[in-house]
C-alpha cells in the first residue's frame, strides 16, 4: 500500500510539473535534489487533497448512518455505512486508499489540463514572466526590452553582433531556449582589434522600402533572427543615440 501511495504521489507530481507552465518554468530553474523535492511537494499536495476528499466522503456516510439510526431506530439493525466504507477492499487494498489515490489523480489531471488557471492568457503569461524574470538577469533585461521597446545589443560567441528589438523569448526548455530579434544593425567584432564593424543597416533598409510591423507583403518580422541562448556571449541595452557615433568609424552602409 505504501508503494502504491508513493508511486501515485511521484507520478502526479511529475505530471503536474511537466504540464503547468508556471511550475515548469520554476523547475527549469532548479537543480539537483531541488527538482525531486519540488516534484514530491506537488505530489503530496494532490495526495493530501485526495485524503481530504476521502475524509469528506466518510463524514457524509457517517452523517447518513447517524440520521437513519435516529429516524428509524431498529434493534440490531443499525446502519454503519462509514464503518463498512473503512473495511471495503479492492485487489487487497483498502477501498478508502484506492478512492484517495483515484481522487488525487483526478485532481492532478484537472489542475494540469482542464482548470481555467492552467490556460494562461496573454496578460497572465506576461505577469508570470515578469515575476520569474526578477531572479534572472538575462530574462529581466529581455523582458525590459520587450515591455519598453528598447534596443538590445546581442554579442554571439562567434563575435557576430546584432542590435535590434526583442520580439519574443522562450526559456521553457533548456535545449531550445531562444530569443527572436528584429535586427536594426548587424556586424562583427574584428578578431584582432575587437572593434565593432557594422555590415548591415536594417533600419535604413526598412525606412527606404516602407517596411514596418504592418506593411505588406513584407513586414519587419520577415527579417527576424532566431538566436539560441546558448550562442549568446553577452547581452546589453543599446542607446540609439550611439548609432550616429558608430556610423563614421564602422562604415555603416547608408545606401
Please report the pLDDT score of residue 48 as a whole number. 92
Say whether pTM exceeds 0.85.
Answer: no
Mean pLDDT by 10 residues, the chain (255 residues): 80 82 68 79 90 89 82 68 75 79 88 63 60 67 78 87 85 76 85 76 85 84 88 82 50 40
Please report the pLDDT score of residue 52 as a whole number. 93
Q: For residue 225, what are the β-bridge partners?
A: 181
3-state secondary structure of 228: strand
3-state secondary structure of 240: coil
All structural domains of the chain, each given as residue ranges with its CATH number in brackets, are 2-118 (no CATH), 123-250 (2.30.30.100)
CA-only gyration radius of the chain, Å: 30
Locate 140 and state its grid cell.
529581466
User: What single DSSP character describes residue 77?
Assistant: -
Please report the pLDDT score of residue 238 as a whole number. 82
CA distances 86 to 6, 17, 52, 170, Å, are 21, 32, 15, 50
Whether the CB-CB separation of 167 and 181 falls below 8 Å is answered with yes
Cis upstream peptide for 238 (omega within 30°): no
Whether the CB-CB separation of 176 and 195 falls below 8 Å is answered with no
Whether the CB-CB separation of 38 and 30 falls below 8 Å is answered with yes
Amino acid at each position: 500500500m505504501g508503494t502504491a501511495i508513493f508511486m501515485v504521489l511521484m507520478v502526479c507530481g511529475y505530471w503536474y510539473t511537466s504540464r503547468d507552465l508556471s511550475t515548469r518554468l520554476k523547475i527549469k530553474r532548479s537543480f539537483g535534489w531541488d527538482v525531486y523535492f519540488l516534484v514530491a511537494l506537488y505530489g503530496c499536495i494532490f495526495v493530501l487533497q485526495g485524503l481530504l476528499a476521502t475524509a469528506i466522503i466518510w463524514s457524509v456516510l457517517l452523517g447518513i448512518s447517524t440520521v437513519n439510526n435516529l429516524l428509524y431506530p431498529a434493534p440490531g439493525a443499525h446502519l454503519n455505512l462509514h464503518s463498512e466504507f473503512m473495511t471495503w477492499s479492492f485487489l487487497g487494498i483498502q477501498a478508502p486508499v484506492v478512492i484517495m489515490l483515484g481522487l488525487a489523480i483526478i485532481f492532478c489531471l484537472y489542475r494540469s489540463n482542464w482548470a481555467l488557471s492552467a490556460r494562461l492568457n496573454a496578460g497572465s503569461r506576461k505577469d508570470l514572466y515578469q515575476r520569474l524574470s526578477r531572479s534572472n538577469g538575462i530574462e529581466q533585461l529581455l523582458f525590459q526590452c520587450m515591455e519598453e521597446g528598447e534596443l538590445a545589443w546581442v554579442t554571439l560567441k562567434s563575435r557576430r553582433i546584432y542590435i535590434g528589438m526583442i520580439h519574443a523569448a522562450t526559456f521553457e526548455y533548456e535545449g531550445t531556449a531562444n530569443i527572436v530579434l528584429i535586427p536594426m544593425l548587424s556586424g562583427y567584432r574584428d578578431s584582432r582589434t575587437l572593434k565593432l564593424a557594422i555590415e548591415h543597416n536594417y533600419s535604413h533598409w526598412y525606412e527606404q522600402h516602407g517596411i514596418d510591423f504592418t506593411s505588406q507583403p513584407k513586414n519587419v518580422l520577415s527579417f527576424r533572427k532566431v538566436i539560441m541562448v546558448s550562442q549568446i556571449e553577452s547581452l546589453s541595452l543599446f542607446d540609439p543615440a550611439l548609432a550616429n557615433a558608430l556610423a563614421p568609424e564602422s562604415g555603416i552602409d547608408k545606401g
